[in-house]
Amino acid sequence: MHIDLSGRTALVTGSTQGIGYAIAAGLARAGARVAVNGRRSESVDEAVERLRGETGSDGLVAAPGDLASEEGTRGVLDVLPAVDVLVNNLGIFGATPPLEIEDAEWRRYFEVNVLSAARLIRAYLPGMKERGWGRIQSIASDSAIVIPAEMIHYGMTKTSLLALTRGFAKDAAGTGVTVNSVIAGPTHTAGVEDFVYQLVSRDLPWDEAQHEFMIKYRPQSLVQRLIEPEEIANMVVYLSSPQASATTGGALRADGGYVDSILP
């Protein structure tokens, strides 16, 4: 399948590293003009340069801003008043005993993981509908369905993201705009390496630590390994394409078979 996104502009939130970075690279390779986002201008500029070297794209844009705040969001919208593809990838996670999660932390997780996506969809969807074409995806997680005991605040936000995305898909019905979620499984990123070492001994080499983590904390995985960010990006690039025109309102799984369900 040849995916050509030439002439399309995409914004990938939280894209200076990890899954977001891989998605930005995939969209750039498909020919899209891609805006890279992060809170710090320095890290965004560094990511843009790395992506330019890796993809050969001259259509990369720096769009720094803290999307968990209204002010930071306005800064990004000033750089990009309109996009054709929006990927809500920004998210935070961490292990905390359930009874120790305080009100401020519940609010922070909701503002970063859910409200940032709502703000951007609200800003960009009207223009997509007017133009008769657009692609919106929110990166959810297996934790939306299989709530982990060690981070229920994170799981709650990803469940909310599924509902948010489905609701906006209904608002976009019949307009040529598709709105979907991608359910990412346990994925190998620098942040996840830190998270794994919160739960297993730091004395273990990475391969052994990863294996112990999967056996103890993610035994449902059918691939029995962490997923690579590029594997999530492949799904996102497809959903961003004209070929995915009949897929909307969905929660598509790139989870390594982690969720023990036929649907979604």
Nearest to 187 by CA among 144, 156, 230: 230
Q: Side chain identity at 115, as an amino acid letter? A: L
At residue 167, the pLDDT reads: 98
- The whole-angstrom separation of Cα 79 and Cα 128 is 17
Strands, E, within 28-176: which ranges?
Answer: 33-36, 60-62, 85-88, 134-141
- pLDDT-derived band at 190, boundaries 50, 70, 90: confident
Print burial letters for 178-213: b (CB count within 10 Å at least 16), e (below 16): bbbbbbbbbbbbeebeebbeeebeeeeeeeebbbeb
- Asked if residue 148 lies in contact with residue 168, where contact means CB atoms within 8 angstroms, the answer is no
Q: For residues 172 and 245, what is the distance between their CA atoms, to the nearest angstrom? A: 13
> pLDDT band for position 195 (50/70/90)?
confident
Q: What is the average pLDDT value for the chain, to the nearest integer?
A: 96
Fold of 9-187+230-250: Rossmann fold (3.40.50)
Answer for the pair 198, 95: CB distance below 8 angstroms, yes or no: yes
| Residue 24 in this model has a pLDDT that exceeds 80 | yes
Query: Given this model, what pLDDT does residue 189 score?
Result: 87
Percent of the chain with pLDDT over 90: 92
pTM: 0.94
Q: Which of 32-36, 98-102, 189-193 has the lowest mean pLDDT?
A: 189-193
Q: Are 177 and 151 in contact (CB under 8 A)?
A: no
pLDDT over threshold 80, residue 264: no
> Does residue 191 have a pLDDT over 90?
no
The answer to whether the beta carbons of residues 47 and 122 sit under 8 Å apart is no
Given a cut of 80, whether residue 250 has pLDDT beyond it is yes
Q: What is the DSSP string of 106-133?
A: HHHHHIIIIIHHHHHHHHHHHHHHHHT-
List active site positions. Answer: 154
How many CA atoms lie within 13 Å of 4's alpha carbon, on the beta-carbon side? 3
Length of the chain, please? 264
Q: Dump pLDDT digits (tens) for 98-145.
A: 999 999 999 999 999 999 999 999 999 999 999 999 999 999 999 999
| More confident: 261 or 128 | 128
Domain borders along the chain are 9-187+230-250, 190-226
Cα–Cα distance between 112 and 240 in angstroms, integer? 23
- The per-residue pLDDT for range 203-249, each reduced to its tens digit, is 999 999 999 999 998 898 999 899 999 999 999 999 999 999 999 99
Amino acid at 109: Y
pLDDT in tens, 146-176: 999 989 999 999 999 999 999 999 999 999 9
